[in-house]
Amino acid sequence: MVDRDIYHIVSDYFSGRITGPDLEYMNIWLDESPHNKQTFAELERVWKLTGALQSNVNSDIDLEWNRFVKARESVILEPPTKNTFWTRPMLIAAAFIPAFLVVASLFFIFHKGSNKEEWLTVNTGNNKVQQILPDGTEVWINRNSTLSYPKEFHGKTRTVRLTGEGFFSVVKNKGSFVIEAGASEVKVLGTQFVVRNYASERTTEVLVKEGKVSFSSRNDKNVIVILTSGEKGILDASINEIQKETATDSNQFAWVTQNLTYNNTPISQMGKDVARYFNTTVIVSPSLKNIMFAGTFTNPRLEEVLRTLSLTVNCDYKIKNDTVFIESK
């Protein structure tokens, strides 16, 4: 493979400006080893932390960038290979990556757009956050997500950037509203929908609750679908295709409504919902996958859901570290 700079590629991914070829290259690198995935997770964590820097920080961005580039010229980064991972370059990079991401984040804050408008960033960490944007649009931001938006909207287009998952209730009659999420773009006039674009996942999803949205690839504007209420779009940027389907999961918005509802639902599907809602891993025994469950949980707690399930369908559960095991008795 051609020698390419994985750190710039990852930075472009977090900034939402990665190209299709670079995304494919990054995905190959991620698949090569658990170490690569761990490194990616650390880069994402640092990126989110630096995204929280306030705009009143005093720094000469150009000077710091030049210093970083000069220091980095002596480091030769190896491209992804099938059987090896970086050794010495990784150690050197450990000293430079945080500095690079801080510089990149500061550049993003101070130099966003030609008019140098001020942007704000919300990092949720392990919490869910409700944020009101300058136009009155409400955004519910899921755990481990980042939303960036201008301090004030100008012109006919309101643009924000999302990494992670957010539910948007967009104010109408104030021009178009655009969400840049990884390699995708969502454009609406006023509606309610969810955008899911976690860096650790290869696809971007849009699920419409109300109204109509345009969902397209930022790498090719001809790759576009129109989604209406109850429809879901899934963009695979590695092949630059969008799949459109009818949403069938009643709990797609559960993390916003704080309700989990089941009506003769297979436990296998329930396990997926619980995993997503509580940000954990759920493993359901194959012997239970076709057993059905009915019930509703309001503002649920994990132990409450599992205990009710075990009493209703006569199964056992155990929690080990961050993993839930649901098994037959």
Pick the CATH number of 119-246 from 3.30.465.10, 1.40.20.10, 2.60.120.1440, 3.40.50.880: 2.60.120.1440
User: 190 or 185: which carries more pLDDT confidence?
Assistant: 185
What average pLDDT is seen over the chain?
79
- Whether the pLDDT of residue 258 is over 80: the answer is yes
Closest CA to 271 of 196, 312, 323: 323
Determine contact, residues 251/234, Cβ cutoff 8 Å.
no
DSSP 8-state symbol, 77: P
- Whether the pLDDT of residue 219 is over 50: the answer is yes
Q: Please tell me the class of the 254-328 domain.
A: alpha beta
How far is residue 311's CA from residue 303's CA, in Å, rounded to a whole number? 12
Residue type for 50, please? T
The predicted pLDDT at position 2 comes to 44
Determine contact, residues 51/42, Cβ cutoff 8 Å.
no
Specify which residues 236 forms β-bridges with.
203, 241
* pLDDT tens-digit map of 274-326: 998 998 899 999 999 789 999 999 999 999 999 999 988 889 999 998 899 99
Closest CA to 70 of 39, 90, 96: 96
Q: How far is CA 302 from CA 70, 129, 271, in A?
A: 51, 20, 11
pLDDT interval class at 55 (50, 70, 90): very low
How far is residue 257's CA from residue 139's CA, in Å, rounded to a whole number? 13
Closest CA to 26 of 8, 44, 38: 8
How far is residue 211's CA from residue 207's CA, in Å, rounded to a whole number? 11
Closest CA to 256 of 124, 125, 160, 128: 128
Closest CA to 206 of 176, 245, 241: 245
Residue 143 φ then ψ, to 5°: -60, 150
Domain ranges across the chain:
6-110, 119-246, 254-328
How far is residue 143's CA from residue 280's CA, in Å, rounded to a whole number? 12
Evaluate whether 119-246 and 254-328 have a shared fold: no
Tell me the DSSP string of 72-91.
HTT--PPPP-SS---SHHHH
- Whether the pLDDT of residue 327 is over 70: the answer is yes
- Whether the pLDDT of residue 83 is over 70: the answer is no
pLDDT interval class at 6 (50, 70, 90): confident
Residue 55 φ then ψ, to 5°: -75, -5
